[in-house]
Structure 1
Amino acid sequence: MTLTNAVPDRRLDLDWLRIAAFGLLIFYHVGMFYVTWGFHVKSSHASSAPEPFMLLLNPWRLTLLFVISGCATRFMLDKMKTGTFLGARSSRLLIPLVFGMFVIVPPQTYFELVEKLGYTGSFGEFYGKYATASGGWPLAAPTWNHLWFVIYLFVYTLLIAGIGPLLKRIPARIMAPLAKGLPIVLIPFLFLTLMRITLEPIFDETHALIDDWYAHAVYFPAFLFGYAIAKHEPFFEFCQRIRWPMLVLALTAWATLTTIRYGGFYTAEPSSPLLVIGPTLRELQAWTMILALFGFARKHLRHDNAARRYLTDAIFPFYIIHQTTIVVAGHYLNQINLPVGMEAAILITATAASCWLGYELVRRVPVLRPLFGLKSNGTRKAARPDRQPASA
């Protein structure tokens, strides 16, 4: 008996969780316009006030997405031959990536140059230099910006196509004690904490792929973990049982970390115990929140409806479109000098509207569909009961 257990061929709870995770990512990027952390453009109202709420999402949002993507990859590979799978993933990921780098992302770089470096050239002048990598700016061009997730997912997909069959042969008797109980809480938490303390200070997260060693040390194992547990139902049952204690632990870790960081207790002194306590609390929050979310999803999100079928296809185009809207709209809103509440409401509305209108256009124009990761034939396979959870 392998680690695959009696489990449905699809997981509606993972579909819903993926939709929610990408949705939160979009709102997180709206928040980046208002905090003091680095972003392409900044509101004149930017301050540290929203940062504690951003830290409620920051530690776990990307790790969760890679775990879910690993789960989805397992379902797909179990249904396809490796060559067919790689062809499907290449078209779904690489075409939108290249299109995004040369069509969607350039306005982000342009307005970043305008705001940070005082660039005065027209967009046309900028684009010629951007597309030919001849601008000589201190910014990468061409670049993938927020679409870094797509290229990372593609590389991890290539790797899993080679080692995935080995993971599927892990006997259930070995997997079972590791996928529930104290081991599944402690081992990933300790691993994430170790990576944060040892690698992150040396290899800061760059999203540049070739030198992003801390990110790979966290996200590829998360992807592998998702692949390994995708069809191991006892893991999800255990998450459902412990969802409330894990949520309490996650919120407690977040509150403690936020108090340390914004309550005047933080210090960067090399001998400070906070340099260990901080990362430990961060990863405790991250992993316990991920377990809690899997548990709540299994408990409450195993139903299907038209909204899930619509959003399962829509969320990837939403993801591709959203950040350019935030940057462009944010730049022009800055010039109007509106009150922060009104400005934020307009920015959120503009982002949501552009995502929805963009998707509604793309899904109706056959030539645009593959550019945004949709099947070119227009077949709405989300309605099929045997479809695997979507990925990316």
Structure 2
Amino acid sequence: MNTTSPPPRVAAPASRLTELDWLRVLAFGLLILYHSGMFYVSWDWHVKSPRLIPALEPWMLWLNPWRMSLLFLISGAATALMAGRADGGGGLIASRSRRLLLPLVFGMTVIVPPQAYLEVVEKLHYAGGYGDFLKLYFQGYHGFCRGDDCLKLPTWNHLWFLPYLWAYTVVVLLATRLDVVRRCLAHPGWRQVVAGGRLLWVPWLVFALLRQHLLERFPSTHDLVHDWYQHSVYFAVFLLGFALYGSRDDRHGAWETARRLRWIALVGFVAVQLLSQRLTSEWGIAHGDAFPEWLLMALRALNAGKQWLPIVAVLGFGRQWLADRDSPWLRWLTLAVFPFYLVHQTVTVIAGHLLAPLHWPLAMEAVALVAITALGCLLAALLAMRVDRLRPWMGLGPRT
């Protein structure tokens, strides 16, 4: 007898792309694992294990250039599908604002503060209690500093994705009210953009130019206002998702082209990644950290390929393996993944802070960290689904 309980019933909306749903779930799952890994690498993060795992860093470097861009592209495609079903742009803007901004407010008020508290406890040896810290947090206290690096409070930490996504969504939905924009999105010339191998090299070229001209001028801030390089990349991939991957009938052929080019994109990504690592390593061994301009330009071009080629590969394999693969589990995960995203980093930070003093074997500790994060995400999603008043604050719509 089968004792496995089915997931709660979730209605299947019309005009869905199951490959898009699967990729969204998998991309956020990858993000959760990535942030668990941040506890064990040498890069700056909110809390740190006293026992680092340097071997994780090369693997995480394979994900760094494209993991967030993939999420923005998926979000752009999902927004186009929603716009195709909506009666009017104004209603969709209001709906998306509720689904993105209410969780942002709730996150900055309830979910994120424990991360900031444990950060100042570990990095600055703050001795006050959590209640004392919250008073400073909501007062906008800026005195938690290491040299010139001060923690800005309140903060949205990992939830920076929400205001960025909201801004891009509003801009695009307002623009699509114009006839000229709608005609542009429907223009058959988009097929020429993705025809042949252009889907591989045209966006790569665009990202290379953005890296060359904006990256050093506008370092990443995640503050929404001054983050112009990141905006140029994330808004570009959001637009690509909206224009090319947000139609059920694949009107511009972008899904099919990605499917056809998936192996080329994957092999190209591996080759570009290995070449970039080899150039960086060999020059560093021979000449130190001072890179000449010609090498920096070459590395920027290669890094642009690392941004785009894996996205094409992921889209292509998603189309090949996940199209029309609907299930109750997928529909449930599609609903649960937003609460997962909201709480996962806070659970990881708290769990890491509490696990480190126990001095468990490192492998056991790492497995426990991932397991606790997964369990915390599951409990948060179930709670959000069952408590009606909590649903909008956790990014869920009304019960259907």
TM-score in terms of structure 2 length? 0.89
> How far off is 1:284 after superposition?
1.1
Secondary structure of 1:55 counterpart: helix
Q: Distance in 2 between matches of 1:41 and 1:252?
A: 34
Correspondence for 1:99:
106
> How far off is 1:272 after superposition?
5.2
Alpha-carbon spacing, 1:339–1:201, altered in 2? closer, same or farther (3 Å): farther
Correspondence for 2:301:
280
Does the CA contact (< 8 Å) of 1:243 and 1:292 recur in 2?
yes
Correspondence for 2:126:
119
Correspondence for 2:318:
297
> How far off is 1:360 after superposition?
1.1
Does the CA contact (< 8 Å) of 2:40 and 2:53 recur in 1?
yes
Correspondence for 2:182:
168
Deviations 1:174-214 (A, max 9, x none): 11111222322111101111222321112111101001111
Question: Are 1:254 and 2:273 counterparts?
Answer: yes
Alpha-carbon spacing, 1:281–1:339, altered in 2? closer, same or farther (3 Å): farther
Does the CA contact (< 8 Å) of 2:199 and 2:257 recur in 1?
no
Correspondence for 2:94:
87
One-letter amino acid of the counterpart of residue 16, structure 1: W
Question: Are 1:242 and 2:261 counterparts?
Answer: yes
Q: Distance in 2 between matches of 1:340 and 1:193?
A: 40
Correspondence for 2:4:
none
One-letter amino acid of the counterpart of residue 100, structure 1: G
Correspondence for 1:189:
204
CA RMSD of aligned residues (A): 1.7
Structure 2 unaligned residues grouped into runs of 5+: 1-13, 145-149
Secondary structure of 2:63 counterpart: coil
Alpha-carbon spacing, 1:136–1:224, altered in 2? closer, same or farther (3 Å): same
> How far off is 1:305 after superposition?
0.7
Q: Distance in 2 between matches of 1:69 and 1:270?
A: 36
Question: Are 1:12 and 2:34 counterparts?
Answer: no
Alpha-carbon spacing, 1:19–1:36, altered in 2? closer, same or farther (3 Å): same
Does the CA contact (< 8 Å) of 1:91 and 1:370 recur in 2?
yes
Secondary structure of 2:346 counterpart: helix
Q: Distance in 2 between matches of 1:225 and 1:268?
A: 36
Q: Distance in 1 between matches of 2:140 and 2:289?
A: 38
Alpha-carbon spacing, 1:273–1:342, altered in 2? closer, same or farther (3 Å): farther
Does the CA contact (< 8 Å) of 2:200 and 2:265 recur in 1?
no
Q: Distance in 1 between matches of 2:50 and 2:361?
A: 10
Q: Distance in 2 between matches of 1:85 and 1:249?
A: 38
Residue 143 of structure 1 is aligned with which of 155, 161, 180?
155
Correspondence for 2:339:
317
Deviations 1:220-263 (A, max 9, x none): 11111111112244111111111111111112222233344456
> How far off is 1:336 after superposition?
1.9
Residue 358 of structure 1 is aligned with which of 380, 384, 390?
380
Correspondence for 2:138:
131
Number of aligned residue pairs:
371
Correspondence for 1:157:
169
Structure 1 unaligned residues grouped into runs of 5+: 1-7, 380-392
Q: Which has the higher contact order (CA 8 A, sep 6+)?
A: 1
**Percent of counterpart pairs with the same letter?**
43
Question: Are 1:342 and 2:361 counterparts?
Answer: no
> How far off is 1:135 after superposition?
5.2
Does the CA contact (< 8 Å) of 1:168 and 1:228 recur in 2?
no
Does the CA contact (< 8 Å) of 1:55 and 1:254 recur in 2?
no
